[in-house]
Amino acid sequence: MIQIKNNRQKLVWIVLYTFIFTSSMFAQTINKDAFVSIKIHNEKNINTSNLESSPAFIGDKIAFVFTDVKGKLFDKDIDEPYFQLGYCDVLPDNVLDVRKPYNPRINSELHEGPTSYDSHQNKMFLTRSHKETRRNKNVESDTFYLRILSADLNTSKPDVRPININVDNYSVCHPALSSDGKTMIFSSNKPGGYGKMDLYTAYFNGQEWTGIISLGSNINSSKNEVFPTIINDTILVFASDRDGGIGGLDMYVSKLTEGIWQKPELLPTPFNTAYDDLGLIVRENMKSGYFSSNRPGGKGKDDIYRFESLQPIFGIEKEAIVTASMQVLDKLSLDEIPDAEISLTPLDIDINNFALSSYNIDMLTGRNPGEMLLKLTPKKGQTFPSFYTNNNGKATFQIKKNQKYLVNIKAKEYASISLLYDFTAFGANFNIVLEPEDIGEIVTDETEIENNDIENSTIENSLDSIITRSTVGDVFVFENIYFDYNSSQLQAGATKEIDALARSMQANENLSVRLESHTDSRGTAAYNLQLSISRANSVRTYLTNLGIDEDRINIRGYGESILRNKCKDNVPCTESQHRQNRRTEVVIESN
């Protein structure tokens, strides 16, 4: 039985996540050469004189634990406000924006703890304290335990409920999920462990969590193993107060080899200090991320820090060189284009995160007096020698798997094109379409424009009527809600159908819907899944801004899993064909 008596004790909640792979991805774990260049930055936009700790990636946001002296809830036992969960957006250069509160259903009247996220279900798994009041000889006493709960983020007011691995009279806390959401690592002080708080793993079989086993003596010690994270499903980072550290809670790193977590290594400075250092999360490029610490020089008790490195902080991939094949096609006819000139230039950027440090910056004078423009050019390595497509429009080349490249393609009688190529996103085989230079502009006369306006007005009125007469289970495919490629922003002029839905919902308070968002196939499946969730959220936000109660709008993201045409991976398609797959479908849930 654990009784929580102080601030640090309440925050000793493990965030460990992993799952079993058959082999290790990295030849070495800690890249010690990278630590020479690491810079640490205090995230001043969110840090206060109170506590900010345990950052976690929740889609494209960062969630974290915080306390607020202005809050209504106060724990008299530790003379501290109750821990809450907040989140923030990520600004350019990976700086964190100001704190935003989570839904009241996620923040209860008790303590909330570190989180993990399953993008496949759009669910958050969180730690929450659980109070049990007992009476002994007419004297009441409160005992606190920790439990893991899940929160369904597809609904505007998340359904938060305990999961089935919680144990009566013991603490089960700090969930951490594998990338597929099927394996969870958590911490518990239940009997049979090696120390005070041990790490365990469980598997989700589609209905419940099963197969609970300890991570064993390679990871667990006689002390506490706390605040872990998993990086790229192969590297485990956690904090421990075991012997042999620098002081307080120190962060350790373990590598997964043939399904077994290896003996942990102590992370060097500046990550570890003589104080409490915990909760390291790392971005895809291994060069930036966040952690928390109560080291001197911060703004409060625990602060969140950002790190930036010139090199990946964790190892070098064994098979770094891969072979890729590109086919260049005519955009209109999809005929092969032979003798197209191709050049590759390495770039130092993270495809999913904008960072000013990865760009050369120039200030230019704008068209208007006093106007200044910021020109950003990706930092480049040395351009490789040009090569050419064969008679079938194909070219094969070798590159580093984890390197991003700027690809320039030129062909006679075609407009040149430049694009960002990432092997992990595009794959080993991909197609590029070039637009013929002689395509002229389509001129439309004023009469045709007027007729189109009349036709659009008629369609809108008809859509209003159809939605109003709809019944439960009806599905509307909104053909004209378009998003830019790789973006969750609605295109200008692409909201007429959403406006019609809003009018119908304003007229009928019983009408509630589920918004199902879909992407095209370009990019990784995992990235597209998160993008579709963000797009569904964009449409929900648009509707709520028009006065629709968010309780009447649920969402679901499907990524690229349900395409409307042939445009799956490695199939040549025009932009208009890809745009057909970037859509939102509306399912009537009540009317």
- Cis omega (within 30 of 0) on the bond before 270? yes
- Taking 70 as the threshold, does the pLDDT of residue 98 lie above it? yes
* Highest-confidence segment of 83-97, 356-370, 464-478, 519-533: 83-97
- Taking 90 as the threshold, does the pLDDT of residue 189 lie above it? yes
Residues 6+ apart with CB under 8 A from 447: none
- Taking 90 as the threshold, does the pLDDT of residue 157 lie above it? no
Mean pLDDT of 404-429: 85
Q: How far apart are CA 494 and CA 96, in angstroms?
A: 30
- Taking 60 as the threshold, does the pLDDT of residue 25 lie above it? no
List, edge to edge, every strand of the sheet that includes 198-204: 172-177, 183-188, 198-204, 209-214
pLDDT at position 485: 53
List, edge to edge, every strand of the sheet that includes 52-58: 52-58, 61-66, 84-88, 100-101
pLDDT at position 43: 96
What are 75-88's pLDDT values in tens digits?
Answer: 766 677 889 999 99
Residues 6+ apart with CB under 8 A from 365: 371, 372, 373
DSSP code of residue 7: H
Name the pLDDT band for 9 (thresholds 50, 70, 90): very low
- Taking 60 as the threshold, does the pLDDT of residue 375 lie above it? no
Q: How far apart are CA 392 and CA 413, in angstroms?
A: 17
List, edge to edge, every strand of the sheet that includes 512-518: 475-478, 583-590, 512-518, 553-557
Cα angle 5, 293, 279 (rounded to 5 degrees) comes to 85
Between 365 and 246, whose confidence is greater?
246
Name the pLDDT band for 374 (thresholds 50, 70, 90): low
Q: How far apart are CA 23 and CA 258, in angstroms?
A: 4
pLDDT at position 170: 92
List, edge to edge, every strand of the sheet that includes 394-400: 394-400, 321-330, 429-434
What are 455-492's pLDDT values in tens digits?
Answer: 444 444 566 777 777 888 888 887 666 555 555 666 65
Q: Which neighbouring-strand residues pair with 388? A: 341
Residues 6+ apart with CB under 8 A from 275: 247, 248, 293, 294, 295, 296
What are 176-188's pLDDT values in tens digits?
Answer: 888 888 888 899 9
Name the pLDDT band for 293 (thresholds 50, 70, 90): very high
pLDDT at position 321: 80
What are 553-591's pLDDT values in tens digits?
Answer: 999 999 999 999 999 887 878 777 888 888 888 999 988
HSE (side-chain half, CA atoms, 13 Å) at 360: 8
pLDDT at position 230: 85
- Taking 60 as the threshold, does the pLDDT of residue 249 lie above it? yes
Name the pLDDT band for 91 (thresholds 50, 70, 90): confident
Cα angle 128, 131, 136 (rounded to 5 degrees) comes to 160
Give the chain's domains with CATH numbers.
Answer: 7-308 (2.120.10), 321-434 (2.60.40.1120), 446-590 (3.30.1330.60)
Rounded to the nearest integer, the mean pLDDT of the chain is: 81
Between 175 and 78, whose confidence is greater?
175
> 219 by DSSP, 3-state: which?
coil
pLDDT > 90 fraction of the chain, expressed in percent and rounded: 38
What are 101-141's pLDDT values in tens digits?
Answer: 888 889 988 899 999 999 989 999 999 998 877 666 676 66
Structural tokens at position 452:
């189109």
Name the pLDDT band for 528 (thresholds 50, 70, 90): confident
pLDDT > 70 fraction of the chain, expressed in percent and rounded: 79
What are 251-284's pLDDT values in tens digits?
Answer: 999 998 888 889 999 999 999 999 999 999 998 8
Please give the biggest Cα pair distance in the chain.
92
Do the Cβ atoms of 238 and 54 come closer than 8 Å?
A: no
Mean pLDDT of 281-308: 93
What are 546-557's pLDDT values in tens digits?
Answer: 999 988 999 999
DSSP code of residue 36: G
What are 342-363's pLDDT values in tens digits?
Answer: 998 887 665 445 555 555 656 5
What are 421-455's pLDDT values in tens digits?
Answer: 888 777 788 888 888 886 544 333 443 334 444 34
pLDDT at position 5: 37
Q: Which of 238-247, 394-403, 550-559 has the lowest mean pLDDT?
A: 394-403
